[in-house]
Structure 1
Amino acid sequence: MLERFFEKTIKSYLIITGLLTATAFSTFLAPEWSMKTLFSYNDVMMINKEYLQGAYQHWGVMVGCIGVLLMFSAKYKQLRTSTMIYSAFEKSMFVGIFLYNVCINDYQWFYGWSGVFALDAFVTIYSLVYLYYYLNRDKSKTPAHLR
């Protein structure tokens, strides 16, 4: 059942999540706009923006490149395994950071990152289910993500 699911969804998953992930390039290209528009930063939060701008731009490039890799791996199967592992790791770390900052630190401003959290949570869940399938699959067959 899972094998068929992943065989049918893997390319769409890689293209759609890659495209959505690549939108992080906007944070590199227009950090102030993205901090205000995409992440709901207010004027008080933007007072010291010059100290954080480089970190946000770095994040935008790093995550944007993961998005490009996800899209490329839809076409080039040899990239899929490493790209899916790296993507799952990076996105699960953000899910943890989001939950920690919202639930433990009670940072209300971090809710501005809810869109990123939703995408990264989806990728994390998809990746965990894929890992379960991969470990329990029929080893005589090619894994679904390489077909």
Structure 2
Amino acid sequence: MLERFFEKTIYPYLMVTGFLTATAFITFIAPEWSMSNLFFYNGQMMENSIYLKATYQHWGVMVGCIGVLLMVSAKVKSLRTSTMIYSAFEKAMFVGLFLYNVCINDYQWFYGWSGVFVLDGFVTLYSFTYLYYYLTRDKSKAPVHLR
């Protein structure tokens, strides 16, 4: 069942989530704009944004590159497993940070990152399900990501 599911969905998954993830390059190009308009930082939060500008730009490049890697792995099948593993853990880390900051720290401002949470939550679920399939698949057949 999982084999058929991934056979049908892996290419569109990698292209769509890769593109959406690559939009993080906006934060590299225009960090102030993205902090205000995408992540809903208010004026008080933006007062010290100059100190965090390089951090947000670094995040934008790092995550944007993961998006490009996801799209490239849609075409270069030999990259798929390592890309899926890397993106799964990177995105799961953000999901954990989001939940921790919203539920434990009660940082209301972190809700501005809800869009990233939704995308990363989906990627985490899909990727870990894929990894489960990959580890438990019938080893006598070529894995679905190489077909």
TM range, smaller chain: over 0.9
Structure 1 residues 13-69: Cα deviation after superposition (integer angstroms, max 9, x where no partner) = 000000000000000000000000000000010000001110000000000000000
Q: Give the whole-Å Cα distance in 2 for the aligned partners of 1:104 and 1:14.
A: 32
Q: What is aligned with 2:23?
A: 23
TM-score, normalising length: structure 2: 0.98
Deviations 1:62-94 (A, max 9, x none): 000000000000001111111111111100000
Code of the aligned partner of 1:39: F
Answer with 64-73 or 123-132: which moved more: 123-132
In the other structure, the counterpart of 1:53 is 53
Distance 2:45 2:63 in 1: 23
Give the superposed CA RMSD.
0.6
Aligned length: 147
Q: Separation in 1 of the partners of 2:133 and 2:75?
A: 22
Which residue of structure 1 lines up, in the alignment, with residue 38 of structure 2? 38
TM-score by length of 1: 0.98
Shift of 1:137: 1.0
Identity value in percent: 79
Q: Structure 1: give runs of 5+ residues left out of the alignment.
A: none
Shift of 1:142: 1.1
What CA distance in whole angstroms lies between the structure 2 residues aligned with 1:145 and 1:102? Answer: 36
Equivalents in 1 of 2:93, 2:103: separation in Å? 15
Supply the distance in 2 between the matched residues of 1:83 and 1:63 (Cα, whole angstroms). 13
